[in-house]
Structure 1
Amino acid sequence: MSDFGPLTHHARFPYSAITQRADFDWPASGSKAPRLAVYIGFNLEHFAFGEGLGAKIGPVSPEPDVLNYSWREYGNRVGAWRCIELFDLLALPTGCIVNTALYDHCPELVAAFAARGDELIGHGHSNSVRQAELGEAGELALLGYCKERIARESGTAPAGWLSPWISESHLTPDLLAESGYAYSLNWCHDDQPHRMQTRSGEQLWAIPYPQELNDIPMIVARQMDAKDFAQMIIDNFDEMLLQSARQPLVMGIALHPYLIGQPYRLRHLRRALEHICRARDTGAAWITTPGAICRHMEKLGKEISHGNPSRR
């Protein structure tokens, strides 16, 4: 590459302006098809004690870092169960993003989400390790193990994947497709799904996953208050609902129970989700899962033709 030539590119998909695409609708439950698809990406994670990576709420101590480990474990023991109560009350499905180490640690928690009919999405074995550091053979082993373990324990193999820490190697999309996954949540570059190029030619969809509407970067990194995070969800929903009059869009909400399951934060999440459910009940939004979004895109029977917009 010359000093002033094109920059290195991933070659997974071409550039496409959001305003220059073909039109379609999401599935209709009434007389009118909704234009905005909304899903909750609910992250169930487990971390090694005394080693490895993990989100921090307090000062980092020498291992074993009891303060930060136990804060994260609150999500599995308390926060996730309180969230289930809220999701049940509002009749909300989730895309449950699962570390398979939870089957060894607290299998009843994963079973509770599976019993609700929630989609289970692969998320590595533990969030203590970054996927990109594994090498090709290690990545393939991880993808295969997680798929088999979720299928064996919960009855259905995962169609989707979110890498721990959104950590990818240059080969991750190829390996996902070759391992039989239908979609990836790793990329946050768009508000619509699209296909990614893979070395085998096997199909892999990129389903939008949020790095803004996400409690870790907002609450941990930016130290946003819970009421402001809830208002952010409401504002994002209202604006995307307005934008979706022109084209179908996807809005994800990424949540972690050790954060959003804290009682004072859950109170504000309740307000935000109630707001979204009121719109759902009028038919204005499709509340769904990433897997259902992927299946709908596949059902359309053709690639949405970027750069060739059409309106009915």
Structure 2
Amino acid sequence: MRITQFVARSVLLTALMVLTSISQAADTRPVAVLVPGFFNSLSSGYIRVTPDKLKLEIRPYFAINIVQAIEAQGVDAVVVNTLSPVGTLEDNGERLIRFLDKLKSIAAYRGRPIHLIGHSAGGLYGFYAIAHRPDIGIKSLTTLSTPFHGVEFINKLADNIPGLADAVRFINLDSLPQLQPENVARFMAGFDLPKNFVVKVFAGEQRVKLLPTDARGLSWPMATISLLIGKRSDGIVSVDSAYATGILLKTQGPMPVQKAVSTIPLEHWEQALDYRVFALLGILNAKYIRDQQNAFYGSLARNLKATK
């Protein structure tokens, strides 16, 4: 009888030890930190209802289906919600650093690999954080339609719209001129990135279609801007700019820049915002946007899981 009790207790103790070791084992699942770009909190969010389990995803910049597409692949998704919608590149870079410091202090994320995904200027904020705080331990940076050559049409707007420069100064919108090509080049030249750091760059591209209500082509505002850009683009950022063509970055050693083979068939804001917003704007096949978002971000999450 005593032997039976001893064996039972030993089995129970062993089981408890195994369960304890499992619960204390390091969580190595990757975390995708989604970094919004310029005007990051000015888009209307009233259309969305965020489930409690995704309460960290509280900004309308990244659609809830994007977060779900990432998490369906076993990758946690967190949206940065502390940026300034009209802040400078440096200001939002510092805000991103503070967000990452706080995130890494939370038990659920401590010690886990962090991957940044920056849309538009969010990619520039990511570069700033990586260069200024390599100790944070960011595993990789993926940029989507980030204007490495600047937003090229801004200079043309300033040249052709009388009073635009004065208006920008009046409302203290210092961050808009920062996106001019010469200023982005100056911003990027100040970086010294960690050795062997991986950067993956993606570009969006759409063309003018016969019907501006077709999600597969540029909407009329984007089509108008694309004429100012004068080359392949997503309606805001040219493909060359998003691919960082011709840009050499200072590093402490080799830094692979992996350029996507194909472009994303969505215009600039469709790459991140809720597809239902575009239905309100008259797009007839808005679910095309959702399907492209799900396919792209789901694939991105699978690649993050494979990153060593």
TM-score range, shorter chain: 0.3 to 0.5
Q: What is the TM-score normalised by the length of structure 2?
A: 0.34
Higher relative contact order (CA 8 A, sep 6+): 1
TM-score (norm 1): 0.34
Q: Which has the larger radius of gyration?
A: 2
